Amino acid sequence: MRLLISLLSGALFGLGLIVSGMTDTAKVQGWLDLFGNWDPTLAFVLGGAIIPMLFAWRIAERRKTAVLGNSIPVPVTSHIDRQLVLGSGFFGVGWALAGLCPGPAMAVLGYGGADAFIFFGAMAAGMIGYRAIFRPGAVAA
């Protein structure tokens, strides 16, 4: 049952990314171009994601288990440190340059052609490389 719900949730998420324009690299780069030809439309997408999650987080804080019975992960830390700031900065720069982040990158694999697979491969290599360099033993097959 969990696998089916995971599949349906992922499909719905991917469809939402496509319909909202988050997989359109030009639209994303236009939204991130604050000092140029700024396109504010993706702010509605982000607001449409953040507002319901505010309620969901409040509900999850009071629950001991998730709807399907598994445990709800507790954040390891809420400390803002140098590694978090640098990682966020690299993420933002990569997102601005490519116009894709991990979720939309997976969604475009179905229709993005060779460029989508090249980007996804480079992204995956970067994630695996980070784990191998900075967290030895954490690389999972």
108 within some domain? yes
Instruction: Write the pLDDT tens digit of every residue in 7-21.
Output: 999 999 989 999 999
pLDDT at 84 (0 to 100) = 87
133: pLDDT strictly greater than 90: no
29 part of a folded domain: yes
Q: Looking at the domain assignment, is residue 140 inside a domain?
A: no
Domains contained in the chain, number? 1
137 pLDDT more than 90: no
Sign of dihedral through CA atoms 81, 79, 42, 13? positive
Whether 58 is in a domain gets the answer yes
47: which 2 tokens? 């607001």
Tokens 């001991």 found at: 64
Angle 10-89-121 from CA coordinates, rounded to 5°: 45
- Whole-number pLDDT of residue 104: 92
Is 46 part of a structural domain of the chain? Answer: yes
Query: Does the residue 139 lie in any domain?
Result: no
What integer pLDDT is reported at residue 140 of this predicted model?
Answer: 54
Q: For residue 50, what pLDDT is reported?
A: 92
Task: Domain of residue 128: give its range.
Answer: 2-134
Assign 37 a pLDDT band (cuts: 50, 70, 90): confident
Residue 65 lies in a domain: yes
What are the tens digits of pLDDT across the range 58-115?
988 888 888 888 888 877 778 898 888 988 998 988 888 889 989 999 999 988 889 9
Residue 125 lies in a domain: yes
3-class SS string, the chain: CHHHHHHHHHHHHHHHHHHHCCCCHHHHHHHHCCCCCCCCCHHHHHHHHHHHHHHHHHHHHHCCECCCCCECCCCCCCCCCHHHHHHHHHHHHHHHHHCCCHHHHHHHHHCCHHHHHHHHHHHHHHHHHHHHHHCCCCCCC
Contact indicator for 73, 3 with CB cutoff of 8 Å? no
